[in-house]
Structure 1
Amino acid sequence: MKNLFLYNWMVREDWFNWCKQFSNEQLLAERKGGLGNILHTLLHIIVVEHDWIQDLKGGRVAELIVSDYRTIEDVIELHHKWHDEIKEFVMGWHEDLDKIELILDEDRYTYGEVLKHLIVHEVHHIGQLSIWARDLGKAPVTANYIRKGLQ
């Protein structure tokens, strides 16, 4: 599971770099599906990851105003602000944590279920970004796990 997080983070960095070829207007342009634009989809991926990890750690979820994030640099900065803490939690993962229950309101989740959700959630949105990349006439970032140096 740790390698899938490492994979997602590598691909996320590639998307950040990919976005730098476009203007803020292009990154915020309304698109069909998902969260409606490229920039806020990347922001959403970061915030969801952060908030679920905070739930698992008993921390505070983010209270952000999406419209405050107008550039790819804003989104990258937020990613870097939270990433070390998230990475420390994920890399410290061990099987004993899989079955611990998280109770939010009346819903129950296992910690393992939450981490697997985070992996799949990012992959889902990366697929949306790939479609939007083609709409812009550009090749998307590769989703290939092979040749990433992960086992």
Structure 2
Amino acid sequence: MQLFFKYNWMVREDWFRWCEELSEEELLQNRTGGMGSILHTLFHIIDVEWSWIRILQGKTDFQESFDDYNSLEKVRQLASAFHAEVESFVNQWDDSMEERLLHNTLEDGRIETHTWGEIVRHTIAHEIHHIGQLSIWAREIGRAPVSANFIRRGLSSALQASADGHSELKR
């Protein structure tokens, strides 16, 4: 689970760098799907990740408006501000947390119950889903998207430990 968070953070940073080559107008241009624009979708990814982690910790949810973060620099600063708390939670994850229950009250008063494991995996999948939308938009404007490849990112601790050695499997 931690590897997929690290993967998402690496891909997100790649998208931030990718966005540096676009104008503010292109980043804010209304598009079909996602949250309507490249920048708003990145903001939404960050918002949802932090919000769910805070809810699991019993803290208040994030209630800021995208209007207050409508530049690449502001969205990057927000991501940076939230990252330490999210990373700390993710790094402290252990199997005992998997089946903990969260009773979440919806706006209409209904209560949903989910395990922490479901919520954490939803958070991971949510970002991957929206990164796919960014990839489609990249192709629509004639640009190559960020690689969604999990391999070749050096995420496995076993690979990092064997970096001094050699691999018997060559691909």
Normalising by structure 1, report the TM-score.
Answer: 0.98
Q: Which has the larger radius of gyration?
A: 2
Aligned residue pairs, count: 151
In 2, the alpha carbon distance for the partners of 1:68 and 1:26 equals: 18
In 2, the alpha carbon distance for the partners of 1:13 and 1:32 equals: 23
Unaligned segments of structure 2, at least 5 residues: 106-110, 157-171
1:150 Cα offset (Å): 1.3
In the alignment, which residue of structure 2 is the partner of 1:109? 114
RMSD between aligned alpha carbons?
0.6
Q: Pick from 126, 136, 139: which aligns with 1:121? A: 126
Bigger shift: 64-73 or 6-15? 64-73
Please identify runs of 4+ aligned residues in structure 1 that moved more than 6 A.
Answer: none
Identity of aligned residues (%): 50
Alignment of 1:25-64 (within 5 A): 25-64=25-64
Alignment of 1:1-151 (within 5 A): 1-105=1-105, 106-151=111-156
Q: Which of the pair is proportionally richer in helix? A: 1
Secondary structure of 1:107's counterpart equals strand
Normalising by structure 2, report the TM-score.
Answer: 0.87
In 2, the alpha carbon distance for the partners of 1:24 and 1:102 equals: 39
1:6 Cα offset (Å): 0.3
In the alignment, which residue of structure 1 is the partner of 2:166? none
1:136 Cα offset (Å): 1.1
Secondary structure of 2:114's counterpart equals strand
Which amino acid is the alignment partner of residue 3 of structure 1?
Answer: L
